[in-house]
Structure 1
Amino acid sequence: MSVPFDPAQHQASTVCLPPGSWATVLDCLCDHFKAISREQWLDRIARGRVLDAQGAPIDVGLAYKPGLRIHYFREVPNEKPIPVQEHILHVDEHLVVADKPHFLPVTPTGEYVEHTLLRRLIRRLDNPHLVPLHRIDRHTAGLVLFSANPQSRSAYQQLFPTRQIDKHYQAIARALPQLEFPRVHKSRLVNGEPFFRMQEVPGVSNSETIARVLEKNGEWWRYGLSPVTGKTHQLRVHMTALGASICNDPFYPQIVQGPDDYARPLKLLAHNLRFNDPLDGQERYFESRLTLDW
């Protein structure tokens, strides 16, 4: 009995071909993805890295048809290694918990494909079914949960939008003696400029963070941050709004140009997670083994 192809399990990307007058799927892909040369698409097709909706390799002359679903595997020529090492904290039939180091992306994006936490774990555990249940920034370190079993995936995915999971972070930033803690910071976050940054704007709040002071060390404090919502860069933007951007943040309050400085990581750590397991109701608690040095 054949098993239906699931592109998500095989880490393939999917494109639904747009309306147009191309003769072949190849012509459409070349025009739609201008950063990828025709020679590269020909090479991928020849190696069976471009598939039809059923998961079968396409022929180079496959006729174009609007709405046709095509799966393809992202590749980055000469991908630069990231010299950091992830650690696996827990593995069972349904769940994998990993400690992600700073600078390592969770999933393939931009110039990173193989050097991502997801691809590394798939290779280490020999499990192509791994799917991250949530994301943390490339610059942030700490806990990431992965679903290891498609049969139970939806139960774990529901923990996040229904806010049934407690997430706690630690951050090091400048002291804020003029403010009272603990405190709640709410704001409206929208996409900013450039596209990868977020910004606060007037309007109904869509983000909320609870901030505490865990430890004081002169002009630097260790903060405990509990995101009630999960907006992109939420903790980084909220700390900047309070007047204390997280130490070594390359995006806030200003963009810092240049390559990654592995000696100066963002001082933000996804420290612990707590939830009731949706399968058996047992309380689950995971804590990062990583630390933020002063």
Structure 2
Amino acid sequence: MSGVQTIKVEATEDGSRVDRWFKRRFPHVSAIMVQKLCRKGQIRVDGGRVKGDSRVHEGQEIRIPPLPEPGERPPVNRMSDEDIAYVKSLVIYQDDELIAFNKPAGLAVQGGSKTTRHLDGMLDAFGEGLDRPRLVHRLDKDTSGILIVGKGPKATARLAKAFQSHKTRKTYWAIAIGVPKPKMGEIKGFMRKAAASGVDSERETMVAAGHGDEGAQHALTRYVVIGEAGQKASWVALRPVTGRTHQLRVHLAAMGTAILGDKKYTCHRPAPEDLGRRLCLHARRLEIPRPGGKPLVLTADLPPALKKIYDTLGFSVKEISETDIEEDLA
């Protein structure tokens, strides 16, 4: 039996539920035991009682009561063989610090209301406890493309800090309805959340706000039009300088050229040729700084369903210079 411990919540654990935080730290302790310890007040956060579904935040201190030693444990992976094979098939790169996935549209990054199958839950396929990879950023459920997770607390903390301090460079590709004018520039302003629903970001809606409004956050996006299909649609590269919820979707809709397939942030233009059945937003490129070396540059191919839409509109990835695009967005 271990003694009483006090553990501080790391930046990468901010917003985690108490029971899930506990499971990552002490995988041998059952969920039933965690709930029981919470009810008895033996697990406390900053000295206060909590429930299993309470959320913890960076810097808070969690009191851990005496716990049984690991002993015999059930197998680490309770995932199905199919899910293990599936999540591993999404990996496009990995090293000692991180794993990069090409996340498909429709797969949530985290659990939420009525969301039980998500990438975070599948990370059990890669380890347990402190060795279990951890999320360092997010993508909307219906956005495809690059998403990385950190290997171990130290790597995860460094990567999370790089995202939070805007030292990473992200490039998204979108198909917009119509053509943004001008064809290259910046979109900026303030936005705020109109509603919140925990970690289920798809239930949140962002609205325009004024400077000084409660909850208002400044948002800045750089963009350049790569290709056009007449005036019906355009292929746009976007760089979110800030990282607000649904930022790219809100900004393109505000220009009157909403992202094709976006059912939440729309514009007055009709979708071309009935192609708007999926959100045409893809996290194409991610540049991550590396201490003492060159940045790591990752790219994610378009998923087949999205590439088919590109082909239908006459957009060819082979005919563009991504180097020129990156220079335009710099």
Q: What TM-score comes out, normalization by structure 2 length?
A: 0.63
Q: Where does 1:1-294 land on structure 2 (aligned, <5 Å)?
A: 13-14=17-18, 48-52=30-34, 58=36, 63=40, 67-71=48-52, 87-113=90-116, 115-123=117-125, 125-128=126-129, 129-176=132-179, 179-192=181-194, 196-203=204-211, 206-218=218-230, 219-253=232-266, 264-278=277-291, 280-291=292-303, 292=306, 293-294=309-310
Taking the aligned partners of 1:271 and 1:191, their CA distance within structure 2 comes to 26
Q: 2:58 corresponds to which residue?
A: none
1:181-210 CA-to-partner distances (Å, cap 9, x unmatched) read 211000101012586110112226600001
Taking the aligned partners of 1:215 and 1:99, their CA distance within structure 2 comes to 24
Which is richer in helix?
A: 2
Task: Provide runs of 4+ in structure 1 moved above 4 Å.
Answer: 1-9
TM superposition shift of 1:59: 6.6
Taking the aligned partners of 2:123 and 2:37, their CA distance within structure 1 comes to 32
TM superposition shift of 1:168: 0.3
Number of residue pairs matched? 237
Taking the aligned partners of 2:294 and 2:246, their CA distance within structure 1 comes to 31
Taking the aligned partners of 2:94 and 2:152, their CA distance within structure 1 comes to 11
Taking the aligned partners of 2:145 and 2:220, their CA distance within structure 1 comes to 20
Taking the aligned partners of 1:193 and 1:163, their CA distance within structure 2 comes to 25
Q: 1:39 corresponds to which residue?
A: none
* CA distance 1:267–1:5, shift in 2 (3 Å): farther
RMSD between superposed Cα atoms in Å: 3.5
TM superposition shift of 1:105: 0.8
Taking the aligned partners of 2:119 and 2:285, their CA distance within structure 1 comes to 18
SS of aligned partner of 2:153:
coil
SS of aligned partner of 1:221:
strand
Is residue 272–residue 288 contact of structure 1 (8 Å, CA) maintained in 2? yes
Taking the aligned partners of 2:113 and 2:168, their CA distance within structure 1 comes to 29
Any gaps of 5 or more consecutive residues in structure 2? 20-28, 55-82, 197-202, 268-275, 311-330
